[in-house]
Amino acid sequence: MSTLTAFHADIKNILEQARSKARSAVNAAMVEAYWLIGRRIVEEEQFGQHKAQYGKRLIEDLSVALMADFGKGFSYANLYNCRQFYLTFPDQEILYTLCRELSWSHLRLIMRVDSPQAIDYYCRETREQSWTVRQLERNIKSQSFQRLLSTQTPPSPAQGASVHLEFIKDPYVLEFLQLPETGEVKESRLEQAIIDELQKFLLELGKGFSFVARQMRISTETSHFYLDLVFYNYLLKCFVIIDLKTGKLSHQDIGQMDMYVRMFDDLKRGEDDNPTIGIILCDSKDETVVKYSVIKESQQLFASKYQRILPTEAELIAEIEREKRLIEGRE
């Protein structure tokens, strides 16, 4: 690299960093301003007639006045969002964290979520995983928090506590693979579609996952076996094997995965690695098979369904609740 080229790169880097800091500063100032506007609206409502109709008229009148002063950007909907922002995050200390790390576009999506636990989850994950607005919107629409929550039933005393449940979803939503909505799909096609959209698949898997191999061979003295997909989770500090099944889950599938996990632990797992996790990703599963299989007592084996399309929110919630009831029934 010539001296001039290096000099130009240095100046460009300085300007890009300055612009990034400026954008962050503007975002923080605007988020704080929206919160203050929301607080002031709520205070004025409390001094008023304490009726919904009064609050609506107050915001409508304020919108007309502000648009006369500042132009577009202060519609009734935007001012209502400011009000909702304050009601969702009334703690000013939390506000300063939000100002620094989340954009107004992120916050508008998050504050539409119903439960406080889900709001905390999406705020935390958006910050830690650096989700874009589009990624956040997909995770909310696909009920990412609820799908994780559905797996977190209290373990039996024999099992003890397990952090694995915080990383396993049921079902997984794979609409980005653009597979046919119905009909049989070959496992090889499903595997190739995942590899083609690996970045999106990693996002759907959750945090801490990195890709290791496809069709990894593990060999004994007498036989060779091939694992569909292998990942490593640096937060759990363990390997994660995924076996793809495009039909209904069978007891043979579970026995095969149990063998794979035991072999991998014996042949591939490092001294500093935690026990390997095996996930059977299947098109459908019979809870009777799951209930009476080794999955029930194992902290290393999981069976999760995958869905080829993004269901409606109501359909997905119904599916999550059904899975949760079945799991609780097993317990």
Residue holding tokens 């989850």?
A: 121
193 and 213 in contact (C-beta within 8 Å)?
no
pLDDT (0 to 100) of residue 146: 86
What are φ and ψ of residue 270, in 5° steps? -80, 165
pLDDT (0 to 100) of residue 322: 72
What's the rounded Cα separation, in Å, for the pair 73 and 82?
12
257 and 280 in contact (C-beta within 8 Å)?
yes
CATH class for domain 156-330?
alpha beta
Which range has the worst mean pLDDT, 1-10, 31-40, 90-99, 193-202?
1-10
Q: Is 272 helix (H, G, I), strand (E, B) or coil?
A: coil
Question: Which residues 6+ apart lie within 8 Å of 112 measured at CB?
Answer: 140
Q: DSSP alpha helices (H): ranges in the chain?
A: 3-47, 52-70, 76-88, 92-101, 104-110, 116-129, 133-141, 144-149, 187-196, 198-205, 251-267, 287-291, 313-330
As given in the structure block, the two tokens for residue 206 are 């959750």
Tens digit of each residue's pLDDT (9 = 90 or more) over 154-179? 444 444 444 455 688 888 999 999 99
Tens digit of each residue's pLDDT (9 = 90 or more) over 232-275? 999 999 999 999 999 888 889 999 999 999 999 999 999 999 99
Q: Please state the pTM of the whole predicted model.
A: 0.77
Q: Domains of the chain: which residue ranges?
A: 1-88, 156-330
Q: Which of 3-17, 91-105, 127-141, 294-308 has the highest mean pLDDT?
A: 127-141
What are φ and ψ of residue 298, in 5° steps? -95, 140
Question: Which residues 6+ apart lie within 8 Å of 200 measured at CB?
Answer: 176
What's the rounded Cα separation, in Å, for the pair 63 and 73?
9
